């Protein structure tokens, strides 16, 4: 089930915003503080949750949607725009999927709703598998007192769904390309993750290179079925800790996932990642570039199929500024 659009009012940095999405790949760009990660988390909640709905004799129920969001953001009482003790502005979230709609206000009032399914994965910018066993043990013991939001724990739970599948072409080629970069396969033993290298050596995740961890997690999620047709991937800064030479590999994998029915949402600051989606884009691929930028009326979004058509593009602007500074430096030396 693909997410077609979302509308947020008075939610964190979003005063009144509506974004429409591609069923394929959606690339979020914008300066720090424009809500890219916030948008990923809200979309993840929409994709993952099971909401209150009555359809004939069928009833689905999710208790306390506000509480769910608070666990995802690890914040209670400050999800509304400019909210404080004396100014409690209600927020609302409306989303449309390919078959159903969902609308919610911050008092847990559902205007329309649907029964969601757990068909979403959110890969955070932080590596979580290194600390998997300890974090899940603490989460079970201390529950609400954990210093991590629920999305950071959820990715460990997804990785622990240990069901290695035999891939069919073309996804078999994708997993093989990731395996070649990783230099082996990812396994789990007694709650800890390891890389088993092609020479038989076993490397604890704590000793593995950060970029290899990230690609290893992606390999694992594909192999255990969490990234298959009908699923949705949310990935915050996929370029972090990855050698720039591996960016084309990441793009190839994500493009192939989208071609095989996975809806993809990315938040990035990296020019090469953004550019490669244009370079590798085929006529049948569905790719949207979504620019979030601040205005006097809060953060707004701009959507184009070609990033060069965006009027507001912080990544391109940074490249232009670098070029200007370089020219100024050359001219300064010449004088």
> What is the helix (H) or strand (E) element at residue 317, kind and residue range?
helix 314-334
More confident of the two residues 88 and 60: 88
Give 285's strand partners: none
Chain-wide mean pLDDT for the chain? 84
Confidence of residue 276 (pLDDT cuts 50, 70, 90): very high
What φ, ψ does residue 273 adopt, rounded to 5°? Answer: -65, -50
Q: How far apart are CA 319 and CA 265, in angstroms?
A: 23
> Who's near 84: CB < 8 A, 6+ residues apart?
78
What is the structure's pLDDT at 108?
56
Q: Give burial (CB, 10 Å; 0-12/13-18/19+) of 334.
A: exposed
Statement: residue 59 has pLDDT above 60: no
* pLDDT of 8 higher than 90: yes
In this prediction, residues 36-59 reach a mean pLDDT of: 73
Question: What's the pLDDT at 62?
Answer: 47
pLDDT at 304: 95
- For 154-179, the DSSP string reads HHHHHHT---PPPPPTTHHHHHHHHH
Residue-wise pLDDT for 17-30, tens only, equals: 999 999 999 999 99
SS3 assignment, position 7: strand
Distance, CA of 221 to CA of 223 (rounded, Å) = 6
As annotated, the residues of the chain forming the CATH 3.40.50.300 domain(s) are 3-119+231-334
d(CA 45, CA 116): 9
DSSP state letters, 294-316: EETTEEEEEEESSGGG-S--HHH
pLDDT tens digits, 222-234: 998 899 988 999 9
Give 64's pLDDT tier (boundaries 50, 70, 90): low
Q: For residues 113 and 301, which has the higher predicted lDDT (pLDDT)? A: 301
Q: Which CATH number fits domain 3-119+231-334: 3.40.50.720, 3.30.60.50, 1.10.10.60, 3.40.50.300?
A: 3.40.50.300
Q: Are strands 120-123 and 232-236 parallel, antiparallel or unpaired?
A: parallel
The pLDDT value given to residue 192: 86
* Other residues' Cβ atoms within 10 Å of the Cβ of residue 141: 9
For the segment 188-195, the average pLDDT, to the nearest whole number, is: 87
pTM as predicted? 0.89
C-alpha–C-alpha distance, residues 333 and 123, integer Å: 45
Question: What is the CB neighbour count within 10 angstroms for residue 160?
Answer: 16
Choice among 14-18, 139-143, 274-278, 293-297 with the minimum mean pLDDT: 139-143
Write out pLDDT tens, residues 200-210.
999 998 899 99
Tell me the average pLDDT across 231-240. 94
pLDDT band, very low/low/confident/very high, at 335 (cuts 50, 70, 90): low
Which pLDDT band, with edges at 50, 70 and 90, does 63 fall under?
very low
d(CA 276, CA 298) in angstroms, rounded, equals: 30
298-304 and 202-204: which strand pairing?
unpaired
In this prediction, residue 217 has a pLDDT band, given cuts at 50, 70 and 90, of: very high
Q: How confident is the model at residue 60 (pLDDT cuts 50, 70, 90)?
A: very low
- Provide the pairing of β-strand 120-123 with 109-112: unpaired
Q: Looking at 2-11, 174-183, 185-194, 214-223, which range is the least confident one?
A: 185-194
* Model confidence at 113: pLDDT above 90: no
Which of 33-37, 104-108, 221-225, 242-246 is the least confident region? 104-108
Average pLDDT over residues 303-321: 91
Buried b (16+ CB within 10 A) or exposed e, 51-85: bbbeeeeeebebeebbebbbbbbeeeeebbbebee
């Amino acid at each position: 089930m693909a997410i077609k659009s979302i509308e947020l009012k008075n939610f964190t940095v979003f005063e009144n915003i509506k974004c429409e999405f591609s069923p394929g790949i959606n690339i979020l760009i914008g300066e720090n503080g424009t809500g890219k990660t916030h948008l990923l988390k809200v979309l993840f909640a929409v994709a993952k949750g099971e909401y209150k709905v009555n359809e004939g004799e069928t009833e689905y129920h999710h208790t306390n949607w506000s509480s769910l969001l608070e666990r995802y953001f690890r914040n209670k009482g400050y999800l509304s725009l400019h909210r404080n003790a004396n100014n409690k502005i209600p927020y609302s979230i409306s989303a449309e999927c390919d078959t159903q709609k969902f609308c919610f206000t911050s008092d847990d009032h559902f205007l329309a709703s649907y029964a969601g399914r757990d068909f979403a994965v959110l890969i955070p910018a932080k590596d979580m598998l290194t600390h998997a066993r300890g974090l899940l043990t603490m989460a079970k013991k201390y529950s609400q007192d954990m210093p991590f939001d629920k999305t950071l724990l959820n990715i460990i739970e997804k990785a622990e769904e240990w069901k290695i599948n035999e891939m069919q072409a073309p996804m078999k080629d994708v997993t093989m390309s990731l395996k070649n970069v990783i230099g082996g396969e990812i396994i789990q033993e007694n709650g800890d993750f390891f890389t088993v290298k092609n020479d038989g050596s076993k490397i604890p995740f704590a000793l593995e290179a950060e970029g290899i961890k990230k690609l290893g997690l992606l390999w694992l999620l594909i192999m255990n079925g969490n990234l298959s047709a009908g699923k949705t991937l949310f990935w915050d800064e996929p370029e972090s800790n990855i050698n720039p030479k591996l960016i084309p590999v990441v793009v190839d994998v994500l493009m192939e996932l989208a071609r095989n029915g996975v809806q993809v949402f990315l938040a990035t600051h990296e020019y090469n990642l953004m550019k490669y989606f244009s370079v590798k884009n085929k006529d049948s691929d569905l790719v949207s570039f979504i620019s979030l930028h601040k205005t006097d009326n809060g953060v707004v979004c701009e959507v184009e199929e070609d990033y060069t058509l965006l009027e507001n593009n912080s990544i391109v602007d940074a490249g232009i500024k670098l070029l200007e500074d370089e020219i100024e430096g050359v001219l300064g030396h010449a004088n």
